[in-house]
Amino acid sequence: MNPTLRIRPARRAELSRLAGLIRNRLPDLMKTQPATQRENIEKNLLKLLPDESLLIAIENRQLVGMAALDLDRARLMAMYLDPKAAHADATRRLVRAVEKHARSFGIGRLECTVKPQAWSFMEKLGYQATVTAGEGEPVTLARDLVEDAEDWQRRVAELHRELGIPSNYGVRYRLRMIPENTDCLSIGADIFDRDIQLDRAAADAWKAMKTDAQRSNIELQPVSGFRTVAYQAGLIRKKLNANTPMGRILRSSAAPGYSEHHSGCALDLTTPGVSPLSAEFSMSRAYEWLKARAGMYGFHESYPNNNRHNIDWEPWHWCYHRHVDPRTT
């Protein structure tokens, strides 16, 4: 494995260059696209950024490849490798990175269409032809991603089948699977006098944010922090037992395995005089303070009004995201 090769999500500032690569280096792909899509390549690539579904491969600070994942169709819809700079390891790692990303949304099978000369290489990566193609014609291949899934991911899939959660849940709600954090620490009791735990970095940020809020006479009270997959499943079962339709449940509760609370970085918050986990919190001084100041500590409102996940507005739900220096990515 080449240690100098890095694969990461593309950034907005790179879209113009990537659109040019697709336009100039993937003419066969462009022929199969509607005229409107051929004219708006950069605009279409922009749609992939929120889900980090546009990946690039960089070696020695040089762009050597890119790949685009169509989540809704579970397809590797475009891939380009610089013939002068890329190598077989770069191709393999880029494909595996796409597969890993697709798997994080719960996708169990990935398709792609390749030229005949790439067929043999993709077969070595586990892809098999699904449609018989004529000589010299592109061939459609597919690979089962479940075989490489981690044990916890398989357990989540089984739990979803047991609960009746749609198999395309992650893609539909644009939510990724989140493993349980195994290194949380206590930050004290919540409003129900239960011990509440957070990821270590999130705990430090929470303490600093809470102290700062107190200086402005704002009292932030934790309602919930780290949750296990089993706990989240219990919440779903409780609502199912109350005859709540699954569609309604999934608009207000993340499916087990996909909740930010598994990371230990999410906090549900309230303030004195406000009912916990209610829209009433959005009218409080505490919420206004969080909107203005929480970002300074790495906390962000995950599900604002009219969010792209189609989840009900949760003004009380705030998640800590570690600051990443773009120079190190």
Cα(35)–Cα(42) distance, integer angstroms: 14
How confident is the model over 239-250, as a mean pLDDT?
97
Mean pLDDT taken over the chain? 91
Cα(317)–Cα(294) distance, integer angstroms: 12
Answering whether pTM is above 0.85, one says yes
Helix and strand totals (H; E) in the chain: 12, 13
Window from 8-12, 30-34, 121-125, 149-153 with minimum mean pLDDT: 30-34
- Reference 64, options 124, 7, 125; nearest CA is 7
How confident is the model over 129-152, as a mean pLDDT?
89
Which pLDDT value is given to residue 28?
52
Which pLDDT value is given to residue 2?
65
Cα(234)–Cα(166) distance, integer angstroms: 17
How confident is the model over 117-138, as a mean pLDDT?
87
The DSSP secondary-structure symbol of 34 reads -
> pLDDT band at residue 320, thresholds of 50, 70 and 90?
very high
> Which residues of the chain does CATH 3.40.630.30 include?
5-145
Indicate the pairing of strand 266-270 with strand 221-224: antiparallel
**What is the CA 265 to chain-centroid distance, rounded?**
15
- Reference 85, options 62, 67, 66, 68; nearest CA is 62
Which pLDDT value is given to residue 60?
86
pLDDT in tens, 254-303: 999 999 999 999 999 999 999 999 999 999 999 999 999 999 999 999 99
> pLDDT band at residue 117, thresholds of 50, 70 and 90?
confident
Which pLDDT value is given to residue 40?
81
**Position 3 pLDDT exceeds 90:** no
Q: Please give the share of the chain, as a percent, with pLDDT higher than 90.
A: 77
Which pLDDT value is given to residue 256?
98
Q: Which fold has domain 151-328?
A: Muramoyl-pentapeptide Carboxypeptidase; domain 2 (3.30.1380)
pLDDT in tens, 157-177: 999 999 999 999 999 999 999
Which pLDDT value is given to residue 329?
29
**CATH number of the 5-145 domain:** 3.40.630.30
> pLDDT band at residue 247, thresholds of 50, 70 and 90?
very high
pLDDT in tens, 19-39: 888 888 765 544 445 444 545
pLDDT in tens, 46-101: 999 999 999 999 988 889 999 999 999 999 988 888 887 767 788 899 999 999 99
Q: Tokens for 104?
A: 């994080």
> Which residues of the chain does CATH 3.30.1380.10 include?
151-328
Cα(269)–Cα(185) distance, integer angstroms: 18
How confident is the model over 97-124, as a mean pLDDT?
94
Which pLDDT value is given to residue 328?
31
> pLDDT band at residue 225, thresholds of 50, 70 and 90?
very high
- Listed in order, strand segments (DSSP E) in the chain are 5-9, 54-59, 62-70, 75-81, 109-114, 128-129, 139-144, 184-189, 195-199, 221-224, 266-270, 299-301, 317-320
> Of residues 151 and 116, which shows the higher confidence score?
151
Which pLDDT value is given to residue 327?
29
Which pLDDT value is given to residue 124?
94
Which pLDDT value is given to residue 110?
98
